[in-house]
Amino acid sequence: MARKESDKTFNELGNTIDPASIGYFARTYRPVYALVFLLPFIFLYEILVLVVNPQLLSEPVSNVRGGVVAFVWIQNFLHYVGLDAKNAWLCAPLVIIVTLLTLQLTSRQKWKILWPDLLIMACECVIISVPLIILALILNRPAQPPQVACLLAATKLSHHSFVMDIITGIGAGIYEELIFRLVLIGLLMLFFETILGVKRIKAIFISVAISAILFSLHHHFVFLNGGFARAEPLTMAPFIFRTVAGVYFAFVFAVRGFGIVAGTHIFYNIIVAILNACLFNHG
């Protein structure tokens, strides 16, 4: 009897400590929430590209901006299965949609959505992005403008380039999280834990470290068309920052799921673009 009471107390304590097991946190962790939450960003990205920069549909992938390389990888995959450039671009969102629908189906969790949760999710994403923004400002103080420009991707912004930064930020937030968190960490965990038999905690640390380093490196060395090309110059401050950001995003992904981590990445990119335009380029 005492043992049962002890187990009950332990389970209740666990539910208290682990927010993902109760209420809002449990609901919004589900893949269906990620899908519904991200759909407006996915469609907004496609629409903005078609309206603002439609030539991207016909440009060679070697001309793509560094922030959406992950999107181009998906586009290349669709090329491989037989789609032309325009259809590959337009169908890329289906990869996200089908992936999340499949995860929802296999999880056998509820499909019900409480719509006020979506607004709370957006606020949560903004709050979670704040530590990264503060870290970026700490690592790159205004007294060192070249480093600020490097870390925050600040250039002499015109209105068009500002809009392009917003577009790139939305695309990168969605597709980089798909590749580097949802897919890569899952594959690394499968390799280290299931195939090699590494203990789970150690496998998690190794997988997160590898994914974070690769996430950082892909901003400097772009892999396209079967080869590597230089993107941004490889300097210490942005490399360290993006590696830390990769670890941070992995933690958010583990605790809060794909919808929140992708939303956090999107809002971080948007806020950084606004800071660049309002503060660093206009005194």
Distance between CA atoms of residues 62 and 60, nearest Å: 5
User: Which residue has tokens 């577009």?
Assistant: 167
Would the CA dihedral through 114, 115, 116, 122 be positive or negative?
positive
Evaluate if residue 130 carries a pLDDT over 50.
yes
- 219 — pLDDT class (breaks 50, 70, 90): confident
Evaluate if residue 180 carries a pLDDT over 60.
yes
Predicted local confidence at residue 90, as pLDDT? 72
260 or 222, higher pLDDT: 260
Predicted local confidence at residue 235, as pLDDT? 79
Amino acid residing at 191? F
Lowest mean pLDDT: which of 86-95, 183-192, 255-264? 86-95
Distance between CA atoms of residues 48 and 23, nearest Å: 35
Predicted local confidence at residue 159, as pLDDT? 58
User: The tokens of 143 are what?
Assistant: 């007294």
User: The tokens of 54 are what?
Assistant: 């439609």
pLDDT tens per residue across span 228-278: 666 667 778 888 899 999 999 999 999 999 999 999 999 999 998 888 777
197: left (phi over 0), alpha (psi -120 to 50) or beta: left
Distance between CA atoms of residues 114 and 123, nearest Å: 16
Using alpha carbons, list the distances in angstroms from residue 11 to 5, 15, 19, 255.
10, 6, 13, 18
Would the CA dihedral through 37, 38, 43, 44 be positive or negative?
positive
Predicted local confidence at residue 45, as pLDDT? 86
Arithmetic mean of pLDDT, 37-52: 86
User: The tokens of 180 are what?
Assistant: 């580097």
User: The tokens of 216 are what?
Assistant: 């950082």
Evaluate if residue 37 carries a pLDDT over 70.
yes
pLDDT tens per residue across span 139-170: 765 443 333 334 444 334 455 677 778 888 89
Evaluate if residue 137 carries a pLDDT over 90.
no
Predicted local confidence at residue 227, as pLDDT? 59
Is 260:271 a contact under the CB 8 Å cutoff? no
Is 67:172 a contact under the CB 8 Å cutoff? yes
User: The tokens of 149 are what?
Assistant: 């420009």
Compute the chain's Rg from CA coordinates.
20
**Number of neighbouring beta carbons within 10 Å of residue 145:** 12
pTM of the model: 0.79
Evaluate if residue 51 carries a pLDDT over 60.
yes
Evaluate if residue 220 carries a pLDDT over 60.
yes
Arithmetic mean of pLDDT, 96-118: 91
- 69 — pLDDT class (breaks 50, 70, 90): low
Would the CA dihedral through 262, 266, 271, 276 be positive or negative?
positive
Evaluate if residue 117 carries a pLDDT over 90.
yes
- 63 — pLDDT class (breaks 50, 70, 90): very low
What does the mean pLDDT of the chain come to?
A: 77
- 46 — pLDDT class (breaks 50, 70, 90): confident
